[in-house]
Amino acid sequence: MSWSRSLSGFTDQVEKDLTKKQKDMAVYALQQIIFGSPVMDGTYRGNHRVTVNGETQDYDLSTADKSGQMTLNEGLQVIGSISRPFGTVTIQNNLPYGERLENGWSDQAPAGVYSVAEQSTKERFK
């Protein structure tokens, strides 16, 4: 018994579908993180970083983004560069006070930011 069609077309489609799903999940998580971030001067919101297959230790105290749009656009560019599934997308904020915010330090985000976004993303994509 043999196949009458090549499986390469099927494999290519599965890979495209998985890549799209990964991008969709990363975009949703990024939006949840950015727009769930507390805002005083916008520094925390402006320092969310997105990397693919790596991490960064970068942050910039002079970067502020009260609306979150600049940070979202930068993250979308990184996420848009994903061309194959199964890579690791990392969204992080390295500001020294980020951990305090995650632990409820802000009345604007008493349950944190990343943990809330993680739960919301899991619920949406389960």
Which residues are within 8 A (CB) of 97 and not within 5 positions of it... i.e. 6 or more apart?
Answer: 44, 105
* DSSP 8-state symbol, 43: T
The predicted model scores a pTM of: 0.92
Question: What is the chain's pLDDT, residue by residue, as a tens digit (126 residues)?
Answer: 666 667 777 888 999 999 999 999 999 999 999 999 999 999 999 999 999 999 999 999 999 999 999 999 999 999 999 999 999 999 999 999 999 999 999 999 999 999 999 999 999 999
Is 113 exposed, middle or buried, given 0-12, 13-18 or 19+ CB atoms closer than 10 A? buried
